[in-house]
Amino acid sequence: MARRLIPTLNRVLVEKIIPPSKTTAGILLPEASTKLNSGKVISVGPGLRNSEGNTIPPAVKEGDTVLLPEYGGTQVKLGEKEYVLYRDEDILGTLHE
């Protein structure tokens, strides 16, 4: 079994963040309040090459929290964990606190 997946070209491996459905006090949260589709970047490919042969690096880096599209990506299961593989241009943006 692979221990680490390194994406090719401009692909980004993301672990989706599953928001809590309960508060620490045990109050159930409505589904609409936990709808933000985000994930943590686990691994990033080296980037695409332009017509001159120069590498164009991806816009995100490992450890970034990103906003993901509702649909798309390729499901990947490594061991017990599930990840999603996206192209760099499919990621909508980065989230900052």
DSSP string, 2-15: -S-----TTEEEEE
Can you tell me the distance from the alpha carbon of 45 to that of 66, in angstroms, rounded to the nearest whole number?
16
Q: Are strands 81-87 and 93-95 parallel, antiparallel or unpaired?
A: unpaired
pTM as predicted = 0.79
pLDDT score recorded for residue 1: 39
Q: Are strands 38-44 and 11-16 parallel, antiparallel or unpaired?
A: antiparallel
Can you tell me the distance from the alpha carbon of 6 to that of 25, in angstroms, rounded to the nearest whole number?
40
Q: What is the pLDDT along the chain (97 residues), one digit of tens a residue?
A: 356 788 889 999 999 887 766 666 767 666 655 557 899 999 999 999 999 989 999 999 999 999 999 888 999 988 888 999 999 999 999 988 7
